[in-house]
Chains A and B, each alone.
Chain A
Amino acid sequence: MVEVQTENRPMTALRLEHVSLTAGKHTILDDISMDLPDGRITALVGPSGSGKSSLLRIVNRLWDGVPRVRVHGSVWYGDTDLYGDRVDVSVVRSHIGMVFQRPTPFPKSIFQNIALPLKVHGTARSEISDRVEAALQTVGLWDEVSNRLHQPALTLSGGQQQRLCIARALAVEPTVLLMDEPASALDPKSRRRIDELIMSLKGTVTVLMVTHHLDEARHISERLGVLVNGRLAAFGETEAVFASENDVVAHYLHHHDED
């Protein structure tokens, strides 16, 4: 792994220490270590099948209960190892939210989509509608849907659905948000909106996002990790990584035709 120079060291929100992922005899991720600075946007890029999404799923323990898959190493959240004993997975997931590649609204109303996770995490009934509104404001959806909160979420456009899913994840006020190519299934205009939304989260939420688009990664992120074949080939300040002269990293970053 290439060590890329870091100038100032902000607080660390999340630290992966020698994390590996195996499925049966296959090693999917091999000895990944990285620090996510608090309140910053970190992007993960790499060829298809390099394990980007798998790495994301490790952080909020989505591999739990998947047969034959095992996570090794530690993921430190403050002084808690998320894979240690006596960790309540539900609490982990309320601190670490996730947004998927394709919008996944529940087949319920727009309001219920956000209210349901709030109820699950014990938000008082009286606070729920304020929190729903706040979440919709954050993602810029409030003006578009405030007059039809009780219509099915599936009546929204793809881009709106994805913003609803981001609102749903943000509503429970996580400190870390994982995003798995959140804009890749959308049209260019919706994509830009999502990118702007992610940038607006800077300072309040720590974002770890997977992307296929190097321009997007360069534009949005402050930290960049390059995953190749399940190994972290480079990790550091985004511009520094782009300037890296390491063969594997430079080859991927500069001779990569955006699929």
Chain B
Amino acid sequence: MQPSLRTVRISPYRRLGSALWRLVAGLATAVMLLVLLLIFWTVIKGSLPAWSLSVFTTPTSGLSGGLENAILGTLWLGLLTILAVGVIGVATASFAAAYAPVWVREALLFVSDILSGVPSIVFGYVGYLAFVVTFGWGFSALAAGLTLTMLSLPYVVRNTMQAFDKVPVEIREAAKALGFSRARTLWSLMWPHSLSGIATGAVLALSVAMGETAPLLYTAEWSDSLPNLALTHHSVAYLTYVVWTFIQQPYPAANALAYMAGLLLMVVVGAIAFATRFRAMERP
């Protein structure tokens, strides 16, 4: 017998439902793209008066000047954060993967989830009390960097743990059977095998940290001068401060700087996200 499919005429209702659904989904997508466009439009249009090289070459002075101090400050804080969060995050995930019993592992993931749900301003307050006041570091790069580290730690821990989970059990077992210590298995097999996962987590953490304002108000304060290498007792400038403060001023020049700061942040964070996405797509 010839195979045949029973053919049914698709009912008008179903056609209508299907068309409606397509319409709603399409509209939602359009709204999302529109929002993105609107953001870009607003920021670019607002920043136009500030488009000049001096943005990169002069620091702020009061409510005018350039953004050099804020750009360098953001990069400086980003560097401190990614160093600290990389070391602490990978160490935590390594402990969980190689040494901790299963329940500790689960508990760590749970704590990490809770941590990522804490509002960032709470981290700011905790960082202020711990680093600025109790440790006596004052408003400083170290206080700010470590506060951003606490806040972005969950991203590195989770991504690293997931990368470790992708190392085949057979390989870990083979290493064990060959007499590898857990530390040796970690650094000879698990880490090299997980590099891209670790990098993804670190970069995600970095982009989250660079976009934060509230925790920095409490820990870095603000400074009109360029950041120096002093870790403590020196306030640091950062781009989000400009966005937050200069936009409320009645001066057009200050407003333009605020838009400019926003645009720079979006470009940097966007570029980082794009770079990691691109790398992730390259992998088979």
A contacts, CB < 8 Å to B: 60, 62, 67, 89-94, 97-98, 100, 102, 104, 106-108, 116-117, 120-121, 165, 168-169, 172
Q: Are A67 and B101 interface neighbours, CB within 8 A?
A: yes
Residues from chain B with Cβ under 8 Å of A92 in the complex: 179
The answer to whether residues A100 and B174 also contact, given A67-B102, A107-B193, A120-B184 and a CB cut-off of 8 A, is: yes
* Nearest CB in chain A: distance from B67 CB, A: 45
Q: B residues within 8 A CB of A120? A: 178-181, 184
- Also in contact, A104 and B174, with CB within 8 A (given A67-B101, A67-B102, A116-B188): yes
8 Å CB contacts to A: which residues of B150-182?
Answer: 168, 170-171, 173-181
Are B176 and A62 within 8 A (Cβ)?
yes
Q: A106-B189, A107-B193 are in contact. Are A168 and B178 (CB under 8 A)?
A: yes
Q: Are A106 and B171 in contact (CB under 8 A)?
A: yes
**B interface majority secondary structure:** helix
Picked from A90, A104, A117, A169, the residue with its CB within 8 Å of the CB of B173 is A104
By a CB distance below 8 angstroms, the chain B residues around A93 are 176-179
Q: CA A100 – CA B171 in complex, angstroms?
A: 10
B residues in contact with A97, CB < 8 Å: 177-178
Instruction: List, in ascending order, chain B residues with CB within 8 A of A94's CB.
Output: 178-179
| 20 pairs of residues in contact across A and B, judged by CB atoms under 8 Å | A62-B173, A62-B177, A67-B101, A90-B180, A93-B176, A93-B178, A94-B178, A97-B177, A97-B178, A100-B173, A104-B173, A106-B174, A107-B189, A107-B193, A117-B179, A120-B178, A120-B180, A168-B178, A169-B177, A172-B178
A165→B180 contact, CB < 8 A: no
Name the residue on A nearest B175 (C-beta): A106
Name the B residues within 8 Å of A62 (CB-CB). 173, 176-177
Complex-state Cα separation, A116 to B184, whole angstroms: 10
Given A104-B174, A107-B171, A107-B193; A90-B102 close (CB under 8 Å): no
Nearest residue, chain A, Cβ from B170? A104
Chain B interface size, under 10 / 10 to 19 / 20 to 34 / 35 or more? 10 to 19
B residues in contact with A107, CB < 8 Å: 171, 189, 192-193
**Which chain A residues border B181 with CB–CB below 8 Å?**
90, 120
Contacting pair B180 A117 (CB below 8 A): yes
B168: chain A residues at CB < 8 Å are 104
The chain A residue with its CB closest to the CB of B184 is: A120
Residue ID in chain A nearest B168 by CB atoms: A104
Cβ-neighbour of B179 out of A67, A91, A100, A102 (below 8 A): A91
Query: What A residues does B179 contact at CB under 8 A?
Result: 89-94, 117, 120-121, 172
Q: Find the A residue at minimum CB distance from B101.
A: A67
Shortest CB-to-CB span from A172 to chain B, Å, is 7
CA distance A62 to B179 in the complex (A): 10
Contacting residues, chain B, for A89 (C-beta < 8 A): 179
Q: How far is the CA of A169 from the CA of B170 in the complex (A)?
A: 15
Measured between alpha carbons, how far is A120 from B174 in the docked complex, in Å? 13
Task: Give Cα A98–Cα B180 distance, bound, in whole angstroms.
Answer: 13
Contact in complex: A98, B171 (CB < 8 Å): no
A104-B184 Cα distance, complex, nearest whole Å = 17
Q: Which residue of B lies closest to A60 (CB)?
A: B177
Smallest beta-carbon distance B81→chain A, Å: 30
- Nearest CB of chain A from residue B75's CB, rounded to whole Å: 35
Residues in A neighbouring B188, C-beta threshold 8 A:
116
Which residues of chain B come closer than 8 Å to A90, judged between CB atoms? Answer: 179-181
Chain B: minimal CB distance from A58 (Å): 12
Across the two chains, which residue of chain B brings its CB closest to A104?
B174
Tell which of A89, A91, A98, A169 has the most Cβ of chain B within 10 Å.
A98
The distance from the CB of A60 to the nearest CB of chain B, in whole angstroms, is 6
Q: B172's closest neighbor in chain A, by CB? A: A104
Nearest A residue to B189 via CB reads A106
Determine the distance from Cα of A93 to Cα of B177 in the docked complex, in whole angstroms. Answer: 6
A254 to B83, CA, bound (A): 65
A169 CA / B180 CA spacing, docked (Å) = 12
CB distance from B172 to the nearest CB of A (A): 9
Contacts of B193 in A (CB 8 A): 107
**Contact, CB under 8 Å: B171 / A104:** yes
The reply to whether B170 and A117 form a contact with Cβ atoms under 8 Å apart is: no
Which A residues touch B184, using CB under 8 A? 120
CB-CB under 8 A from A165, the residues of chain B are 174
B50 to chain A, nearest CB (A): 50
Q: Which residue of B lies closest to A95 (CB)?
A: B179
Instruction: Report the Cα distance A16→B181, complex, angstroms.
Output: 25
Q: What sequence of 0s and 1s flags, for each residue 70-106 of chain B, a beta carbon within 8 Å of any chain A beta carbon?
A: 0000000000000000000000000000000110000
B180 near A100: Cβ-Cβ < 8 Å = no
The listed residue with most A CB atoms (<10 A of its CB), out of B101, B181, B188, B193, is B188
A117 adjacent to B101 (CB under 8 Å): no
Measured between beta carbons, the chain A residues less than 8 angstroms from B171 are 104, 106-107
